[in-house]
Structure 1
Amino acid sequence: MAADPLSRVFAALADPTRRDMVARLAGADATVGELAEPYDVSVQAVSKHLRVLEDAGLVSRSRDAQRRPVHLEAEVLDLMTTWIERYRRQAEERYRRLDDVLASMPDDVSPTHPTDDTTPGGNPS
């Protein structure tokens, strides 16, 4: 059974090399050879990384004469952004409610601490 699209995107981006490739492709399209340059891996290894990114829908390849540029499909990142944003808003609302509770507390209330007027046996000293 194939994973849902969001799971494929997160799984593809779990690898730091693939995240770096996506970041580099955000600036401009690049060939496999250009993407392989900064890494100490073979072009074949980079191709495998790109295949994972392609399967997740994050990149596509096209043909431009002899050149085969890899293109970032940035709209797929919107899927992640939407998911993350929903939970960010929920967390923000919880913090807002906590701020309201803290703001409604009197400032002159000091925290209560247990007193140390008993011995370890529980008897007053």
Structure 2
Amino acid sequence: MTDLSQNTFRALADPTRRDILRMLSAQEMTIADVSARFDMTRAAVKKHLTVLSDGGLITVETRGRTRVNRLDPSGFAPVLSWLEFFDQFWDDRLSTLKKTIEKDTP
């Protein structure tokens, strides 16, 4: 597993960060915008945003003195790749089970 994918899963592990991702899926937000929606300090929100950025799930753009956070859908690729492996695994297992059942059925 690459560092990026480890960082991606680490970022997704926290419910607050998942909530932030949902908010960013609707609109770009500054740290102040995100902070206003949580009962935590601005510094704590900044740490969450940093983890999301390190995981490749958001991008941060500096506009003057403001940093604008935006969801980066391409950052979910490591997660989708990991899930596709297990999707194929279960397809193969269920196909084998089906063949076994059909073979044993008169």
Q: RCO greater where, 1 or 2, for CA within 8 Å and sep 6 or more?
A: 2
Give me the identity figure in percent: 29
The answer to whether the aligner puts 1:95 opposite 2:94 as a matched pair is yes
Shift of residue 65, structure 1, vs aligned partner: 4.5
Which structure's CA Rg is the greater one? Answer: 1
Separation in 1, partners of 2:48, 2:38: 12
The answer to whether the aligner puts 1:36 opposite 2:35 as a matched pair is yes
Name the structure where helix makes up a greater proportion of residues.
2
Q: Give the match for residue 104 of structure 2.
A: 105
Listed one character per residue, the Cα deviations across residues 47-80 of structure 1 (whole Å, up to 9, x for unaligned) are 1111111122221211335543101121010121
Q: Give the match for residue 113 of structure 1.
A: none
Q: Give the match for residue 61 of structure 1.
A: 60
Q: TM-score, normalised by structure 1?
A: 0.74
Q: Give the match for residue 14 of structure 2.
A: 15
The answer to whether the aligner puts 1:82 opposite 2:81 as a matched pair is yes
Name the structure where strand makes up a greater proportion of residues.
2
Q: Which runs of no fewer than 5 residues in structure 1 stay unpaired? A: 108-125
Q: How many residues align?
A: 105
CA-atom RMSD in angstroms: 1.8
Separation in 2, partners of 1:85, 1:36: 35
Separation in 2, partners of 1:99, 1:47: 50
Listed one character per residue, the Cα deviations across residues 10-35 of structure 1 (whole Å, up to 9, x for unaligned) are 01111110111112212221111221
Moved over 4 A (4+): none
